[in-house]
Structure 1
Amino acid sequence: MIQRLFAERAAAIVAEDPGAIGLAAAGSWLSNELDEFSDLDLVLVTKHKVGGDKQRMMAWAQKFGALLSAFTGEHVGEPRLLICLYDDPLLHVDIKFLTLEEFAFRVEDPVILSDVFGQLDQSLRVTTAEWPGPGYQWIEDRFWVWIHYGLTKLGRGEYFEAIDFLSAIRNMVLGPLLLVSQGQLPRGVRKLEKHLPGSILQQLKGTLATHDRASILKAIHTCIEMYRDLRSNLFDSDIQLQTGTEKKVLEYYDEIAELPQKVNN
């Protein structure tokens, strides 16, 4: 498989470089789910800080193969990440650049590919990975405000914006909660098709809307129904429900539902 061949080549390069401590693999590699469409997620640990310095990050990436293009990951809040596309073979590779101290703080235990002096193994043995689960209170405090936002855009006739809103609700709320309900890590909407029972997947399809007022309104309603079901099954009594906000937003939903169809050219 091209991902493993690339990783083996990169590990050999890292093992010979005096500026490196080691290399590890994360993502699909950990669950043995690599296939022909998978990205390769690498963690490069260096003696001196490289993450955040694009020039030095690019220099490292160029050692690993025929680099076509790369950019840093500020858009996902991670300037230490370099998102790369290589040629021969064509492969997407994400490289996160960490120091040994930074390596200890992680969301999952990566597979070590190169660790000449055993420092990565030692770090994994004395520290614990912590995946940040969805904050139920964080979601509850925001969900109804978000629903109101989507309804206002629908009411104004901004259908593209409303459709984007639905995508955000799936990614930030429904997807993570659905994955948790199935005993999976809350990775947005990743691999929902694999993990969800058919009936729930069919219900989730109801949150997909076309550029049509009735379609969007129905999709928002489905989002509300699914969230309330998930909330009742997952949240414990410590979560403060925003019942007042919920009531007002549901009343506003009814108002929007009664508005006439806007004509959009």
Structure 2
Amino acid sequence: MVHTEFTSRAKKILEKDDKVIGLAVGGSWLTNEIDKYSDLDLVIVTQSKISNNPNRMLEIAKTLGDFLSGFTGEHVGEPRVLICLYDNPLIHVDIKFLTLEELQPRVETPHLLMDKGGLIQEIFDKSTAKFPYPNYQWIEDRFWTWIHYVLLKIGRGEYLEAFDFFGFLRMVVFGPLLHIKNGNLPRAVRKVESELEANDLSRLKETIPTYNRQSLLESLKNSVFLYRDLRKVLFGKEIILRKITEEKVMAYFDEIQKNKP
């Protein structure tokens, strides 16, 4: 498989670099779910920090294969990752550049391909990976204001902006909560097609509108119903529900539905 070939080549190349301590692979490699559509998630551990030097990151990445393009991952909140595309064959590779100190905390424990001196394994043995879970109170404090925001956009006729916001709600709220309900890691909407129960997936798809006012309102109503049901299943008694805000926003929802353009 192309992923195995790439990692084997990368290991041989990086073994010769005295500034590189180790190489590891994570993501779908760890769960044996990697296929021809998978990207490759590599971790390069260096003696000194280089993630603050994109040019140096690119220099290393260019040695690993037929490099086409690469850029840092600020747009996904991780500037230490270099998102790369290689050719012959075409493959997407995410390379995270870390120091030993930056191996904890971590969301997963990657598979070690190279560990000079055993320093990385020593850190893994003394610490555990912890995947971040959503803060239910954080969601509840924001959800109804988000619904009001979408209503404003629909009311003004800014349908495209409203349409795009549904994607945000699925990524931040519905995907993670439905994954938790189904006993999965809350990886946004990743693999919802295969990891959610049929009814849950059907309800998630009901939050996808078409580009018209009625569909947007219908999908928003479905979103509210889905959130309320997930809240009942997942939230504990310690979560403070913003009932007054919810009532005010839903009253405004009724106004928007009645005031047709």
TM band (smaller chain): over 0.9
TM-score, normalized by length of structure 1?
A: 0.97
> For residues 106-139 of structure 1, what are the alpha-carbon distances to aligned partners after superposition, in whole Å with 9 as ceiling and x for unaligned?
1111111111211111110001111110110111
Give the equivalent residue in structure 2 for 1:169. 169
Equivalent positions of 1:48-87 (< 5 A) are 48-87=48-87
Q: Does 1:192 align with 2:195?
A: no
Give the equivalent residue in structure 1 for 2:229. 229
- Residue 16 of structure 1 deviates from its aligned partner by 2.2
- Residue 260 of structure 1 deviates from its aligned partner by 1.1
What's the secondary structure of 2:24's corresponding residue? strand
Cα root mean square deviation, aligned: 0.9
Cα distance in structure 2, aligned partners of 1:89 and 1:149 = 45
What's the secondary structure of 1:86's corresponding residue? strand
Cα distance in structure 1, aligned partners of 2:136 and 2:204 = 20
For 2:88, give the aligned amino acid.
D
Residues 51, 97 of structure 1: 8 Å contact kept:
yes
- Residue 52 of structure 1 deviates from its aligned partner by 2.1
Residues 12, 114 of structure 1: 8 Å contact kept:
no
Cα distance in structure 1, aligned partners of 2:143 and 2:97 = 34
In structure 1, the gaps of 5 or more residues are none
Q: Does 1:214 align with 2:204?
A: no
Residues 27, 40 of structure 1: 8 Å contact kept:
yes
Residues 13, 64 of structure 1: 8 Å contact kept:
yes
What's the secondary structure of 1:42's corresponding residue? strand
Divergent runs of 4+, >2 A: none
- Alignment: residue pair count: 261
Equivalent positions of 1:132-211 (< 5 A) are 132-211=132-211
Residues 46, 97 of structure 1: 8 Å contact kept:
yes
Residues 41, 95 of structure 1: 8 Å contact kept:
yes
TM-score, normalized by length of structure 2?
A: 0.98
Give the equivalent residue in structure 1 for 2:38. 38
Cα distance in structure 2, aligned partners of 1:252 and 1:7 = 55
For 2:145, give the aligned amino acid.
V
Give the equivalent residue in structure 2 for 1:18. 18
Cα distance in structure 2, aligned partners of 1:84 and 1:75 = 14
Cα distance in structure 2, aligned partners of 1:140 and 1:30 = 33
Give the equivalent residue in structure 2 for 1:94. 94
Cα distance in structure 1, aligned partners of 2:86 and 2:52 = 21
Cα distance in structure 2, aligned partners of 1:48 and 1:187 = 31
- Residue 15 of structure 1 deviates from its aligned partner by 2.1
Percent identity of the aligned residues?
52
For 1:197, give the aligned amino acid.
E
